[in-house]
Amino acid sequence: MFIQHNDSVSPLVASFNNHSDDFELLIQTKSINKIQGKIRFQYLQQKFEAAIVITTTSIQIQSQYPFTGIQASSSKVESPALSENVYLVNGSLTKQGHLNISWLILDTIHLYNLLRLKPGSILELYREAFSFAKAQDPELVFGQLQLENPIAKSTAKLLGQKMKRKHKYQYGNSLDLLVSIQQILGSYPQQFLAPKTIVGNLVPVLS
């Protein structure tokens, strides 16, 4: 059951109706054009929590529990002429907003499952994409490709393509996928960043 409610005492937050969905939205700050707060949801009896920012034309989430650093964002609405195409109207989440949050949750769960069950797959995907970037700029450091670098966009695109081909899943935003995987690598340096890490020897993370 989707529940949208206030997580503070801000007088800006009005009452909302319940909708049939599988996440809970807790509002911390709200205006006509922007909501900031948290979402909570469950997957296989595991509780998840993520920070969320919603505007009329964008939604971004970043996981906080049980792992910090997986991020995902919705497609940017370029021409918000019709209210049905935007994510927020007069401070209330639209049907399209509900749907996009559900897709972002799926992105988070998919990457979390790889982290938990197939860490070698994460390392293999990143190694292949990073090799492409390294060939263009030998000065790059493994696990530390910055989004400001012109190579990042093409590397992220390749990473997303490899994810789709190998795991039959299309991550919503390939740059978010790049950032999330680098966050995973950096959070478990002994697991992923050892000089001679062997993919087949990696044990499940967060098991």
User: Both 144 and 175 in a single domain?
Assistant: yes
Q: How far apart are CA 62 and CA 29, in angstroms?
A: 17
Whole-Å CA distances, 125 to 52, 130, 162, 177:
27, 9, 7, 11
User: Both 96 and 11 in a single domain?
Assistant: yes
Can you name the residues that pair with 135 across neighbouring β-strands? none
Q: Give the residue carrying structure tokens 């790059």.
A: 140
**Is 171 among the domain residues?**
yes
Instruction: Please tell me the predicted confidence (pLDDT) of residue 20.
Output: 38
- Show the domain range for 169: 119-201
User: CA neighbours within 13 Å on the CB side: how many for 42?
Assistant: 5
Q: How far apart are CA 183 and CA 194, in angstroms?
A: 16
pLDDT string in tens for the chain (207-residue length):
344 444 443 333 322 333 335 899 999 999 999 999 999 999 988 999 999 999 999 999 999 999 999 999 998 887 766 656 799 998 999 999 999 999 999 999 999 999 989 999 999 999 999 999 999 999 999 999 999 999 999 999 999 999 999 999 999 999 999 999 999 999 988 888 776 666 666 667 765
Q: Which of 203, 201, 205 is nearest to 181 (CA)?
A: 205
User: Both 148 and 163 in a single domain?
Assistant: yes
Domains in the chain, number = 2
**Is 55 among the domain residues?**
yes
Q: How far apart are CA 49 and CA 130, in angstroms?
A: 30
Of 113, 140, 165, the residue at which a domain comes to its end is 113
Instruction: Please tell me the predicted confidence (pLDDT) of residue 125.
Output: 95
User: Both 23 and 47 in a single domain?
Assistant: yes
Of 89, 113, 137, the residue at which a domain comes to its end is 113
User: Both 48 and 131 in a single domain?
Assistant: no
User: Both 131 and 77 in a single domain?
Assistant: no
What pTM, to 2 d.p., does this model score? 0.85
Of 85, 113, 141, the residue at which a domain comes to its end is 113
Instruction: Please tell me the predicted confidence (pLDDT) of residue 67.
Output: 93
Q: How far apart are CA 174 and CA 155, in angstroms?
A: 9
**Is 143 among the domain residues?**
yes
**Is 206 among the domain residues?**
no
User: Both 11 and 90 in a single domain?
Assistant: yes
Instruction: Please tell me the predicted confidence (pLDDT) of residue 194.
Output: 73
**Is 207 among the domain residues?**
no
User: Both 108 and 18 in a single domain?
Assistant: yes
